[in-house]
Amino acid sequence: MTEPMKIRVTLQGDVADVRVLMAHPMETGQRKDAAGKIVPLHFIQTISAQLNGKTVFNADVSQAVSRNPVFAFKVKGAKTGDKVVITWTDNKGEKRTDETVVRAAGS
């Protein structure tokens, strides 16, 4: 089961500063549990971001990223009311999509 992301967007002019918190164990496949058995690899593999339905980027992510990662980027040409959609998929085929609406600066 996946848990919701936390997406925060702040608008500076026409640049949206998007910061995303993702809940994910991000297991490296190197760690051992209390019984000494290796905890299997489990990590986010791809992240994609859309602004009003248009993909602004796709990212390939490795298991070197920390647990519950923070992901931040800036998009030009954003305005109040725009929809930001973030999707991640992991190596177990799990997928999570969350969205938010760009609000006016200072609100």
Partner 1 sequence: MRVALVVGLVAAVPWLQAAAQSVDPTAAEFDKFRAVLEKDNPAELFEAKGEHLWRTPGGPKKASLEKCDLGLGPGMVKGAYAQMPRYFADVDRVMDAEARIVHCMISLQGFSYAELAKAPFSNEVRTPDPVSLVAYVAGQSRGEKLAPGRSHPKELAAYNNGKAVFFYRAGSFDFSCASCHGVDNQRIRTQPLPNFTKPDQALAAVQGWPGYRMTGGVVHSLQWRLNDCFRQQRFPRPEYASETLSALMTYLTVNASGQVYKGPGIKR
Binding track over 7-26 against partner 1, x by CB under 8 A: -x----------x-xxx-xx
We find the least distance from the C-beta atom of residue 45 to partner 1, in angstroms, to be: 19
**Contact criterion met (CB below 8 Å) for 8 and 18:** yes
Q: Alpha-carbon distance 58 to 47, whole Å?
A: 6
We find the least distance from the C-beta atom of residue 106 to partner 1, in angstroms, to be: 16
Q: Which of 15, 38, 59, 72 binds partner 1 (CB under 8 A)?
A: 72
**Size, binding site for partner 1 by CB under 8 A:** 15
Handedness of CA 29, 33, 36, 40 (dihedral sign): negative
Q: Alpha-carbon distance 82 to 105, whole Å?
A: 13
| 41 lines the binding site for partner 1 (CB under 8 A) | no
**Contacts of 25 by beta carbon, 8 Å cutoff, 6+ apart:** 42, 67
| 29 lines the binding site for partner 1 (CB under 8 A) | no
Q: Of 31 and 81, which has the nearer Cβ to partner 1?
A: 31
Q: Alpha-carbon distance 88 to 72, whole Å?
A: 14
Residues that bind partner 1 (CB under 8 A): 3-4, 6, 8, 19, 21-23, 25-26, 66-68, 70, 72
